[in-house]
Structure 1
């Protein structure tokens, strides 16, 4: 399957379009390998099914548009390079409602005008006056974290250096607040609790080293 990346180019002075090119960007390649890595591990126990799927996909290839978190990978690479024994707490939207753009992990592109929001069906429509929100795939975030720590490696990585596995957990916001917050202090008279009832589409990611931090 030929992987392609999307880039912008201008037609004239103001119009934007997409240009498809063979995938060569090393950052995008690393990101794709990390995302596909776990699928390879899962298929070890079901080689017959995996082989059948592989043959089927080659005969009937199915194009798929995906949005990959290259910025997240870059950030984790920098953090692990500078602070290999860090403890990390991150929070973000795990999904976004009413997304009109196609593809896995597609963003919500929205413009607010005269107090009303307008959701776009293409990110190309965002020309400086639109907000672009990407949901975080916490499953991928966890694998990127393990990869950047040096513990999880892609098959092509033949380096001998092996990092330490990190202890990680993913919690929805309500569970995180019940565990680490004080929800009893924020409950209103009618039973509503903003710590537990708001932001149902957000999660927390906690990651700490399992080895000696001294």
Structure 2
């Protein structure tokens, strides 16, 4: 099978997948941690380690900033979303939020608790939908949220199988999710630079191997074409690409490889962007995940493959491991993601028109549309080619909070985002350090 199918089977198979059977998300007690009583970041590490030790040995356990810094991290997300909603849609539209991969349901609970307490008039107009692929987590989310927020809807489905169009303005959350999106493996012929796709094979003894064939998968082909359109570089040295004579010289060397090293391409991430374009035409995306990782397996944009043994994390050196027993997660190049996102949204939907389409919406309405004029202009609202359109003015902010004429989304470091929206006094330690800012330096936001 294709590498991405192997990864999805390993992580999400309902019978033996890692997230279906093995994984446990670290969870504090219901009472939030009193950060003001902790001396410094070293002591905070000890507190977290002690809480980890309370879990059973060999449990596949990991933590997220949502859990470590609850409810303050979730409240920062809520402030970001409600500021946009109040600025652009209230009181004419409902506050519609979708979240994929909601874990224990902690982020949803923190957001809704904050709205209920601080913005009751917004809370009364909030529709919160969770799209969750894991049956166990979907059940846990329902049990946790419906006690205090019975209007929350939990849909047990993969986001890649989503088939319902949301015509209203909405916010789409993907927090610590896309790192576990399946990637494909591609290598390039060093003579011709032709790409080859990776296929996982298994022999009669049950041992895995990877073979390479010419690309015939439509999703891989689409990603490679998108990269060409965006002028993103190939993972091959520029001299190799420009001068066939250098490639020939290298290939004549003893034991020279005929294929480049493995590259892991985010094909399922492209599937998500297409889903947003086709089914959430007026969304605003808030996404956060790892921008870099250590202990990765060999290759370009390669993942970390790891498991836990006796409460110790053990990284591996290959993707070809026993399905369901290992976590597989990838870094994301956020500058490339932003390019892919905006280019994909600028394309027409790839679905046929159906009876449930809203005829009042343009076929390619922008995710940042904020009034009737922008909707009537459709995607051309952001075009500088419209006759008579005023030139962007330096320092003038658009409704999205971005300077007029600039990109429709921005990339922020973890600290930059939380310095803007977080209540930092709540997570400051006695010596002035702030683990909510100091930790997760390899995480970024797209908004």
Relative to the length of structure 2, the TM-score reads 0.39
Cα RMSD over matched residues?
2.6
Change (3 A) 1:88 1:98: same
Over residues 130-183 of structure 1, what are the superposed CA-to-partner deviations in whole Å (9 max), with x where a residue is unaligned?
11111111122112211221269xxxxxxxx89456611100100000011111
Q: Is the 8 A contact 2:411 2:446 kept in 1?
A: yes
Change (3 A) 1:163 1:31: farther
How far apart are the structure 2 equivalents of 1:54 and 1:6? 21
4+ long deviations beyond 3 Å:
52-55, 161-166
Query: CA shift at 1:126, angstroms?
Result: 4.2
Judge which range, 188-197 or 16-25, deviates more.
Answer: 188-197
Change (3 A) 1:179 1:19: same
Change (3 A) 1:121 1:53: closer
Query: CA shift at 1:40, angstroms?
Result: 7.1
How far apart are the structure 2 equivalents of 1:73 and 1:175? 26
Change (3 A) 1:25 1:132: same
Aligned pairs for 1:161-172 (under 5 A) are: 163=379, 167-172=408-413
How far apart are the structure 2 equivalents of 1:110 and 1:184? 35
Counterpart of 2:335? 139
Counterpart of 2:278? 81
Counterpart of 1:32? 224
Over residues 80-116 of structure 1, what are the superposed CA-to-partner deviations in whole Å (9 max), with x where a residue is unaligned?
11112211100001111122x1221100000111111
Q: Is the 8 A contact 1:109 1:126 kept in 2?
A: no
Query: CA shift at 1:33, angstroms?
Result: 2.2
Structure 1: any 5+ residue segments left out of the alignment? 42-49, 153-160, 207-214
Determine whether 1:116 maps to 2:312.
Answer: yes
Counterpart of 1:56? 243
Query: CA shift at 1:59, angstroms?
Result: 4.4
Structure 2: any 5+ residue segments left out of the alignment? 1-192, 249-258, 349-363, 365-377, 383-406
SS at match of 1:125: coil
Q: Is the 8 A contact 1:34 1:143 kept in 2?
A: no
1:102 to 291, 298, 303: 298
Q: Is the 8 A contact 2:305 2:315 kept in 1?
A: yes
How far apart are the structure 1 equivalents of 2:326 and 2:241? 40
Equivalenced residues, count = 188
Q: Which has the higher strand share?
A: 1
1:195 to 436, 439, 442: 436
Change (3 A) 1:57 1:145: farther
How far apart are the structure 2 equivalents of 1:98 and 1:40? 25
Change (3 A) 1:57 1:85: farther
Change (3 A) 1:37 1:58: farther
How far apart are the structure 1 equivalents of 2:198 and 2:425? 48
Structure with higher Rg: it is 2
Counterpart of 1:22? 214
Change (3 A) 1:17 1:40: closer
How far apart are the structure 2 equivalents of 1:163 and 1:25? 30
How far apart are the structure 2 equivalents of 1:15 and 1:32? 30
Change (3 A) 1:123 1:40: closer
SS at match of 2:263: coil
Change (3 A) 1:105 1:54: closer
Counterpart of 1:184? 425
Q: Is the 8 A contact 2:240 2:246 kept in 1?
A: no
How far apart are the structure 2 equivalents of 1:18 and 1:93? 26
